Structure 1
Amino acid sequence: MRAVVITGVSRGLGAALFDVSISRGDRVLAIGRHFTEQQQLLRDERPGDVTLFSTDLADAHWLPDYDIMRGFLREADEAVLIHNAAVVEPIGAVGRLTTEAITNAIAVNLTAPAVLTNTFLRAAPADARKRLLFVSSGAAHRIIDGWALYCTTKAAGETFFEVVASQTRDDEKVSVVNVDPGQMDTHMQENIRRAAASGAYFPGQQRWVDAPAEGRLADPLAVAERIIKEHAS
């Protein structure tokens, strides 16, 4: 049995990853604050296949603990963890950001993946094949002025998973990958354009504002299918 843990499934790439996993016949544990009506219906119809864990990813104390994760992964011969949830906010100049926005970005983009990875590796069956994916961004390697927290947390997240990859390099049953999905037609892109329109400090905003009209936003479902095929199949 293949068990897949995904964060942030209510929309965009996360929703697409959820759909692709379900269509493959995977057992899915979805973690996040919100879920779609279809996901809730699937949970009610197929409680053995779909688990929706409602929580705020910004609060590490309320993430699935060892017992919950071990119970979900108990019978798996293949266990997959996909860190998808992330926030691009705050967008603006350092010196004008709120403490709440800064700490929230670090908690969601970096602390939650680190904590969940630690729990996942402890809880997964020793003989199961384990695949860990961190959905990163080009912003991890390219400074985007006005995106201090997003660039920083994505770069730090990649570093964390590179360390995990090094730790497990001699274990053929473990695969750890940082994935850059590229620009997609998601709610995050809407937030970026909204920030641009708000007058926030964001010098390179025009490239993002023009992305939809220039056809540079990929379909999340196509990206999800590629990610699963290349890194988790």
Structure 2
Amino acid sequence: MKVYTNEKNLGDYPNRNKAAEYASGKYIKYLDSDDLIYPHGMEVMVKMIEQFPTAAYALSYAKAHEYRPYPFSLTPEEAYKEHFLQRGLFNEGPTSLIFNTEIFRKEGGFKVFKVYGDAEMLFRLSAKYPMVKMQPALTWWRQHEGQEFDLGHKNNEYFNGTYLLSMEFLESENCPLNNSDRMRAVNRLKRYHARKILSLGLGSKKLKPAWNYLEILNCQLKNY
């Protein structure tokens, strides 16, 4: 094991990219200092992603609710359908992921240095490459006060950022969905976001600003 220390604090995602520069193996595995990977976790992750050499990454989803045994691969279209039209998929952080080093570097690593940088990476990779779903419970993500994810939720940065990010990838020419599914995904996303904004507005008794924000984001409530 080698330990590297930065001379200055690079920040969350620049630090992830810096760490990836030191990687010499076939795969890149992140583990944040406040999280935990179970003793069998690394072995299982490597064995599973090894079965799919063209996959950009493998993901250990938090809940087991599959119709087939793990591991299995999803095409870009299948992955986007599951995330945008079914139960969600691109919601896991680096602790639950293992990356193909070659593809990670080819695609430039993390490019968005905000609390939703993980989601941007998964949207981008999944639009071009297959991904692998692994069994749950390989890691433990510790949630606590003061972490970036917690702060991002309190100021709604994660909520708003992932909405805009999702719209960007759905409207991209590289979106793997056909036009019919893409429009269904856009409308579904707008409905969810509109309801969430109004819920937050009602909870904070700031309904007028919430309504104005809906208009800015073009989240019309007609037929919702």
TM-score, scaled to structure 1: 0.27
The structure richer in strand per residue is: 1
Highest relative contact order (Cα 8 Å, sep 6+), 1 or 2? 2
